Amino acid sequence: MAKFLVVDDSALARRVLCDILLSEGHAVEQAESGEKAMKLVGDRHFDAVLADFNMPGMMGDALLAGIRRIAPGMPVVLVTSYYDSEMFRTADKSGFVRIVNKPFTNEELVDAIREIL
């Protein structure tokens, strides 16, 4: 069992991600913004973060940079519908360990989780 932080400004997206993670036996906390996520990462231990890219306030790339300062080795998975081919080409350079496209299947997300763990 791993402990995940799910970050997305959409309550529905957070619920779907949390339900899948919980069904796999993982512990989950959630944040509706990058700012709240940064506070949680600073205060608690997580094994990985699943984060949206396009959020009001702190975007996913800024969240990733902040997480890298606090917890350099923590895997961060980008779960987003906001992407382009350049983002995929530079995913390794950006620091996201995986990019999962919305909409995704449960199997796609579970495969990504198993890969990072």
Instruction: Provide the residue-wise pLDDT of the chain in tens; the chain has 117 residues.
Output: 999 999 999 999 999 999 999 999 999 999 999 999 999 999 999 999 999 988 999 988 889 999 999 999 999 998 988 666 665 555 555 667 788 888 999 999 999 999 998
User: How many CB atoms are located within 10 Å of the residue 78 CB?
Assistant: 27
The C-alpha atoms of residue 17 and residue 88 are separated, in whole angstroms, by: 21
Kindly list the domain boundaries of the chain, sorted by start residue: 3-116
- The backbone torsions φ and ψ at residue 56, rounded to the nearest 5 degrees and listed phi first, read -60, 150
Query: Look-up: residue for tokens 């779960």?
Result: 79
Q: Which two tokens stand for residue 80?
A: 């987003």
Q: Do the Cβ atoms of 83 and 101 come closer than 8 Å?
A: yes
The C-alpha atoms of residue 98 and residue 58 are separated, in whole angstroms, by: 20
Query: Look-up: residue for tokens 């382009």?
Result: 84
Give the model's pLDDT for residue 40: 98
Q: Do the Cβ atoms of 55 and 82 come closer than 8 Å?
A: no
CATH assignment, 3-116: 3.40.50.2300
Helix residue spans in the chain (DSSP H):
11-23, 34-43, 60-70, 85-89, 91-94, 106-116
Give the model's pLDDT for residue 21: 97
